[in-house]
Amino acid sequence: QKEVEQNSGPLSVPEGAIASLNCTYSDRGSQSFFWYRQYSGKSPELIMFIYSNGDKEDGRFTAQLNKASQYVSLLIRDSQPSDSATYLCAVSNYNNNDMRFGAGTRLTVKP
Amino acid sequence: EPEVTQTPSHQVTQMGQEVILRCVPISNHLYFYWYRQILGQKVEFLVSFYNNEISEKSEIFDDQFSVERPDGSNFTLKIRSTKLEDSAMYFCASSLGDGNTEAFFGQGTRLTVV
């Protein structure tokens, strides 16, 4: 069974702070790692992807991957109230034919 | 900007009836997917489709479900003999493939079985 685990939260941070979201996965063969944002009642929206160990930065977002620890994280700098959403970690194999999601972490950014 | 489109946005059906959910993936994408999300629960993988055949399917995707690409643009999910527990949001997604594995989602079809 390919498991993707996330702390369900809720995670609450003040506006302007750094939000840190974590994810672990069970399948050592996983090759592709994604972070999606999902607003209530909407579809998942891709915000970051990472394939190699280390950090990847895109604007206020940084994804971090450690394959040895089977751990992937997302940092959101200068958090804004509009960042309030559920963040979904997704993991896929090399062929990307079975991307699996974690249950998501609900983030609230308070003004 | 290209996007995945799904129809209908909401479908209500009686238990035991068959439903077909429709999707138009992004035009140059090669991999297609169906996911479902029961209200308040996680996004669950159902099936992936590549080169006109099922590439992978989950334990949820049993004989009740089937997928088809009837022409060059549409990708459909058929649910035979719907059950109350099939009520969920169904998302279609597509990815380019060939090293580009990022999947983009449609807006979803809310299926309500009564």
Q: What is the mean pLDDT of residues A67-84?
A: 97
pLDDT of A94 > 80? The answer is no
pLDDT of amino acid B99: 67
Q: What is the C-alpha to C-alpha distance for residues A84 and A89, in angstroms, rounded to an integer?
A: 16
| The pLDDT of residue B76 is above 80 | yes
Q: Which residues contact A19 (CB under 8 A, 6 or more apart)?
A: A11, A13, A75, A76, A79, A83, A107, A109
Residue B93 confidence (pLDDT): 96
Between CA B36 and CA B32 the distance in angstroms is: 14
Give the closest of A32, A34, A98 to B45, CB-based: A98
DSSP A95: T
What spatial distance separates the first Cα and last Cα of chain B, rounded to whole Å?
36
The predicted structure's pLDDT at residue B97: 79
- Share the mean pLDDT of chain B: 94
Is A1 an interface residue toward B (CB < 8 Å)? no
Exposure class string for A27-56: b at 16+ Cβ within 10 A, else e: beebebbbbbbbeeeebbebbbbbeeeeee
Inform me whether the pLDDT recorded for A27 exceeds 70: yes
Percent of chain B's residues with pLDDT above 90 = 86
**Chain Cα centroid distance, residue A106:** 11
Q: What is the mean pLDDT of residues B65-91?
A: 95
Looking at this protein, which amino acid is placed at residue B19? V
For chain A, the average pLDDT equals 94
Q: Which of B41-50, B53-62, B94-103 shows the lowest mean pLDDT across its residues?
A: B94-103
Q: Residue B4's closest CA among B32, B29, B21, B23? A: B23
Write out chain A residues lying below 8 Å of B43, CB-based.
38, 44, 88, 101, 104
With a cut of 90, say whether residue A83 has pLDDT above it: yes
From the candidates A43, A45, A105, which should be mutated to test the interface with B, based on the most B CB atoms within 10 A? A43
Tokens encoding A90? 């997704």
Looking at residues B13-41, what average pLDDT do you find?
Answer: 96
Inter-CA distances, A44 with A74, B13, B23, B105, B113, Å: 16, 25, 16, 6, 23
Mean pLDDT for the stretch of residues B91-103: 85
- The position carrying tokens 């804004």 is A80
Nearest to A44 among B43, B45, B56 (CB): B43
* Mean pLDDT of all residues in A6-34: 94
- A99 vs B: CB within 8 A: yes
pLDDT at A20: 97
Strands A19-25 and A11-14: unpaired
> Taking residues B39-44, what's their average pLDDT?
94
B36 contact residues in A (CB cutoff 8 A): none
